[in-house]
């Protein structure tokens, strides 16, 4: 596939051409009419999937955009036409990786240079962040081809096109434009038809749905603010969304004001935390996942027997801290098979083990094997502590990874179960990345990869997966393949303090 690039002015075309070795760069002058006629002749030669781009200088509408900043169009508007550019987040990620200051938003195509500040302010009211004179006209007949618009800012509301600083800012903007062209080539190299293999189950588990529902119900019943100790679930999108609706996330009980409502997160808390909240007289609502509560109950049972409890988990994780708090003098943490050899216990015949619910299934079973070898009378939980959601998501991502060139896992960096999915997928197919959303995808992940596996951790909203699919579809035709290894039907009721 050949990248077709429209750089309206000769100076723009000459600046970007060295960075676009696999592109056809055309320029036929400024303005929508010239852009439209250039497009009309190009589309006759272009293939239906050839990527298309407009690159050049542009004017800022949004205050705060500075000369040399790069605008990537989320859509271009002209007349009553709007052309969406769904791959904008990925191109922007590549530009940022190269060190540029990047803004994503609508670009408005106008018929003439806008010189008056008032006129710019009026155009900014439309929500567009930058203006040019060609993009909408050039992309008018683009069809389903992958498309991108990159504009390097040279003027803005407080900097007219011709001013004493024009020469200096012009040189700077030209250097940025040259570098932006290399990112555009990388973007184009990612354009291709591909298959998207979706792992099922993926995204929210029953425990996460319950925890979010608890905060929503508390906000409805008690009104904002509702305080939540720690992130309710480990996902930045969920946290931001609840913050916007009135949740206030705090690290410790002491940060919740007297008389406030405090929610404990899905990961569970140590008894000492409960005691502190009770002593303060706070209205507590416990959103601990029932499957985490089960592990706490086992910890109490084993501790009552006088056992040393080997907790298999990750140091510093909130769930591990909460479980350890049930019997701090008897719990020892083990993170790997090597850690088993280093254990020093008072009575090898009184040892039991528990697990963090979100561990890698294979690795933790290896650790249990090593424990059994060292402590033949080892006691374990009545049923596996690794929860159904973790187990199912790992099985699904394994199947998908085996048939994919690369796997993307939607989830936040502090999500244990999401990180385990990435590790597992990486072992199976050689390359996997954790992404919070489509803005974390680099075009280099996609170049040469025709099959992309996609999953999401138990704390990642399903809508994010759809956003990633829509973004990938912007790089060329996609075939969407669902790989459902099991259908989940687990549901947990809400705590008595709240109702749906
Ligand atoms: S991952 Fe498992 S233990 Fe954690 S909240 Fe979900 S169902 Fe509960």
**Model pLDDT for residues 340-375, shown as the tens digit of each residue:** 999 999 999 999 999 999 999 999 999 999 999 999
Contact yes or no for 443/94 (Cβ under 8 A): yes
> Rounded to a whole number, what is the distance in angstroms from the first to the last CA of the chain?
52
Please tell me if the CB atom of residue 389 comes closer than 6 angstroms to any atom of ligand 1: yes
Q: Do domains 194-202+389-484 and 206-290 have the same CATH topology?
A: no
Contact yes or no for 417/393 (Cβ under 8 A): yes
Please tell me if the CB atom of residue 207 comes closer than 6 angstroms to any atom of ligand 1: yes
Q: In CATH, which of 3.30.1330.10, 3.40.50.720, 3.40.1010.20, 3.40.190.10 is domain 293-374?
A: 3.40.1010.20
What average pLDDT does range 100-125 have in this prediction? 94
Atom of ligand 1 nearest to the CA of 417: 1
Residue 243 has pLDDT above 70, yes or no: yes
- For this structure, is 319 an active site residue? yes
Provide the 8-state DSSP code for 438: G
Atom of ligand 1 nearest to the CA of 205: 6
What average pLDDT does range 471-489 have in this prediction? 98
Residues constituting the chain: 500
> What distance in angstroms lies between residue 207's CA and the mean position of ligand 1's atoms?
5
In this structure, which residue's CA is closest to atom 2 in ligand 1? 387
What average pLDDT does range 433-444 have in this prediction? 98
Peptide bond into 201 cis (omega under 30): yes
Q: Quick one: CATH architecture of 194-202+389-484? A: 3-Layer(aba) Sandwich (3.40)
Residue 236's pLDDT band (boundaries 50, 70, 90)?
A: very high
| Class of the CATH-defined domain 3-189 | alpha beta
Distance, in Å, from the CA atom of 323 to the CA atom of 296, rounded to the nearest integer, reads 5
In this structure, which residue's CA is closest to atom 6 in ligand 1? 207
Please tell me if the CB atom of residue 390 comes closer than 6 angstroms to any atom of ligand 1: yes
Please tell me if the CB atom of residue 356 comes closer than 6 angstroms to any atom of ligand 1: no
Which of 12, 75, 318, 319 is an active site residue? 319
The predicted-structure confidence for 34-90, as pLDDT tens digits, reads as follows 999 989 888 888 888 899 999 999 999 998 999 999 999 999 999 889 999 999 999
What average pLDDT does range 232-238 have in this prediction? 98
Contact yes or no for 410/457 (Cβ under 8 A): yes
> What distance in angstroms lies between residue 454's CA and the mean position of ligand 1's atoms?
20
Q: Which residues pair with 153 in a beta bridge?
A: 58
Please tell me if the CB atom of residue 265 comes closer than 6 angstroms to any atom of ligand 1: no
Instruction: State residue 46's pLDDT score.
Output: 84
Contact yes or no for 488/395 (Cβ under 8 A): no
Instruction: State residue 384's pLDDT score.
Output: 87
Residue 166's pLDDT band (boundaries 50, 70, 90)?
A: low
Residue 100 has pLDDT above 80, yes or no: yes
pTM across the whole model: 0.95
What average pLDDT does range 462-472 have in this prediction? 98
Classify domain 206-290 at the CATH topology level.
Rossmann fold (3.40.50)
Name the nearest CA neighbour of 236 among 436, 462, 410. Answer: 436
Residue 118: C-alpha distances to residues 122, 124, 125 (Å) = 6, 10, 11
| Residue extents of the structural domains in the chain | 3-189, 194-202+389-484, 206-290, 293-374
Give SS3 for 256: coil
């Amino acid at each position: 596939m050949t990248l077709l690039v429209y750089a309206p002015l000769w100076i723009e075309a000459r600046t970007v051409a060295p960075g676009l070795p696999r592109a056809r760069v055309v320029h036929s002058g400024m303005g929508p009419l010239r852009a439209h006629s250039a497009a009309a002749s190009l589309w006759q030669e272009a293939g239906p999937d050839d990527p298309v781009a407009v690159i050049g200088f542009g004017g800022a509408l949004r205050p705060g955009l500075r000369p040399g900043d790069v605008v990537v169009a989320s859509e271009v508007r002209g007349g009553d036409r709007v052309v969406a550019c769904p791959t904008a987040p990925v191109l922007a990620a590549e530009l940022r990786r190269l060190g540029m200051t990047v803004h994503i938003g609508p670009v408005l195509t106008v018929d003439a240079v806008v010189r008056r500040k008032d006129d710019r302010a009026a155009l900014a009211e439309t929500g567009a962040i930058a203006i040019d004179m060609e993009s909408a006209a050039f992309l008018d007949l683009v069809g389903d081809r992958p498309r991108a618009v990159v504009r390097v800012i040279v003027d803005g509301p407080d900097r007219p096109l011709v001013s004493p600083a024009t020469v200096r800012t012009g040189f700077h903007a030209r250097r940025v434009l040259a570098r932006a062209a290399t990112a555009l080539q990388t973007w184009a190299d990612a354009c291709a038809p591909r298959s998207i293999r979706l792992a099922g189950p993926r995204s929210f588990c029953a425990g996460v749905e319950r925890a979010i529902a608890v905060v929503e119900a508390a906000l409805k019943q008690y009104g904002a603010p509702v305080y939540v100790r720690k992130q309710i679930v480990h996902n930045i999108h969920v946290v931001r969304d609840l913050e916007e609706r009135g949740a206030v996330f705090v690290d410790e009980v002491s940060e919740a004001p007297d008389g406030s409502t405090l929610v404990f997160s899905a990961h569970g808390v140590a008894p000492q935390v409960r005691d502190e909240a009770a002593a303060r007289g706070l209205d507590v609502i416990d959103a601990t996942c029932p499957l985490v509560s089960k592990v706490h109950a086992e910890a109490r049972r084993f501790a009552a027997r006088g056992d040393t409890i080997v907790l298999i988990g990750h140091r510093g994780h909130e769930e591990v801290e909460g479980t350890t708090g049930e019997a701090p003098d008897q719990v020892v943490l083990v993170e790997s098979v090597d850690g088993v050899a280093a254990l020093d216990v008072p009575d090898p015949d009184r040892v039991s083990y528990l697990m963090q619910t979100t561990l890698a299934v294979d690795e933790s079973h290896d650790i249990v094997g090593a424990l059994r070898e060292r402590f033949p009378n080892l006691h374990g939980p009545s049923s596996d502590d690794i929860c159904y959601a973790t187990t199912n998501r790992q099985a699904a991502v394994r199947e998908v990874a085996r048939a994919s060139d690369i796997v993307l896992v939607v989830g936040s960096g502090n999500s244990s179960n999401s990180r385990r999915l990435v590790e597992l997928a990486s072992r199976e197919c050689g390359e996997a990345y954790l992404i919070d959303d489509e803005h974390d995808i680099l075009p280099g992940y996609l170049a040469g990869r025709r099959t992309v596996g996609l999953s999401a951790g138990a704390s990642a909203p399903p809508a994010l997966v759809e956003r990633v699919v829509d973004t990938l579809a912007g790089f060329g035709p996609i075939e969407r393949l669902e790989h459902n290894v099991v259908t989940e039907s687990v549901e947990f009721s809400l705590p008595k303090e709240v109702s749906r």
